[in-house]
């Protein structure tokens, strides 16, 4: 199996937590990694080189190949600089793991525009900026792997995370389209919703729950999604604590109206429209 041997993978937000685990796992499996981290706190404030440098220093003494990058994913120039780091250091790029993220959790009625915008800039726009910079190289070489970090908050929702949930749901929409557009070029795009104990989730669950959710459980799945053996594209996987499962949209049998219905008629048949009995995997009607 070729796996990820000699593949060049950019990992954003790789100075701590899950990103760090992805970098260590991929490097140990023979990949060459770009460890990107702005070095800020979990709310996005601050910056520094120590976090990314520390991960590189864990990898290179063991014979692995890694370089650090400290650019922000939140700007187009930052995304380009991250990808350029891979090209300058290793001469190519084979994949992007869009993992960088921040939190500004608040109930929706208390959320400011800055709370909303800053989270979307890092998560959703950050994924776009980095992947968009890499995309021409992946298409030209007819090989690429994209993994984005979504969340169960983006799939199912979560109180106080309308900004985070919207960003993470948007990343699913992004990989759904990239899976279609990248298919002919052997560029695969998938999403992982990690359930892991990191500084982003340190107050999200009791300590005894978090103790069973080490980031090391997630990294092998992400590694497979970066491998040459991957055959899956456009999938959303929830991963944590040893469990891995796919989440997908479904469609009900629904109702077909012979003529334009009245509001009342729609109401009368609403149970039929929403009844999930016999539901099937959703299919894009225009795809």
The residues annotated as belonging to the active site are: 164
What is the DSSP code (8-state) at residue 261?
A: P
CA dist 100 and 126 (Å) reads 7
What residues does 71 pair with on adjacent strands? none
Among 64, 71, 61, residue whose Cα is nearest residue 23: 64
Q: What is the C-alpha separation between 233 and 8, in angstroms, rounded?
A: 19
Distance CA 202, CA 20 (A): 16
Helices and strands counted in the chain (H then E): 11, 10
Query: Which distant-in-sequence residues (6+ apart) come within 8 Å of 73 by Cβ?
Result: 12, 13, 36, 38, 79, 82, 98, 100, 122, 125, 126, 127, 129, 130
Q: Is 225 helix (H, G, I), strand (E, B) or coil?
A: helix
CA dihedral 211, 40, 23, 228 (to 10 degrees): 110
Other CB atoms closer than 10 Å to residue 15's CB: what's the count? Answer: 27
Q: How far is CA 181 from CA 7, 18, 185, 225, in A?
A: 22, 28, 8, 17
Rounded Cα–Cα distance for residues 148 and 12 (Å) = 10
Distances (CA, A) of 24 to 21, 37, 41, 65, 91: 5, 14, 21, 10, 21
């Amino acid at each position: 199996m070729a796996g990820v041997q000699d593949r060049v993978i950019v990992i954003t937000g790789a100075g701590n937590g899950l990103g760090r685990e992805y970098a260590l796992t991929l490097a140990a499996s023979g990949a060459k990694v770009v460890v990107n981290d702005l070095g800020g706190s979990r709310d996005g404030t601050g910056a520094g080189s120590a976090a990314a440098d520390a991960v590189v220093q864990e990898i290179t003494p063991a014979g692995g190949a890694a370089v650090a990058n400290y650019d922000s994913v939140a700007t187009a120039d930052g995304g380009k600089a991250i990808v350029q780091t891979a090209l300058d250091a290793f001469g190519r790029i084979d994949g992007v793991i869009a993992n960088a993220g921040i939190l500004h959790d608040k109930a929706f009625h208390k959320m400011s525009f800055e709370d909303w915008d800053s989270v979307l800039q890092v998560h959703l726009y950050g994924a776009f900026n980095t992947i968009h910079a890499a995309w021409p190289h992946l298409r030209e070489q007819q090989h690429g792997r994209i993994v984005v970090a979504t969340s169960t908050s983006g799939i199912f929702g979560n109180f106080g995370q309308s900004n985070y949930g919207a960003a993470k749901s948007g990343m699913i929409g992004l990989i759904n389209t990239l899976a279609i557009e990248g298919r002919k070029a052997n560029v695969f795009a998938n999403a992982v919703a990690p359930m892991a104990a990191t500084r982003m989730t340190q107050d999200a669950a009791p300590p005894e729950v978090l103790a069973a959710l080490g980031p090391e459980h997630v990294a092998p799945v992400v590694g497979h999604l970066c491998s040459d053996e991957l055959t899956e594209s456009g999938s959303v996987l929830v991963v944590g604590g040893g469990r891995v499962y796919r989440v997908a949209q479904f469609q009900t049998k629904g109702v077909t109206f012979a003529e334009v219905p009245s509001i009342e008629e729609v109401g009368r048949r609403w149970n039929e429209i929403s009844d999930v009995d016999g539901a099937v995997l959703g299919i894009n009607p225009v795809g």
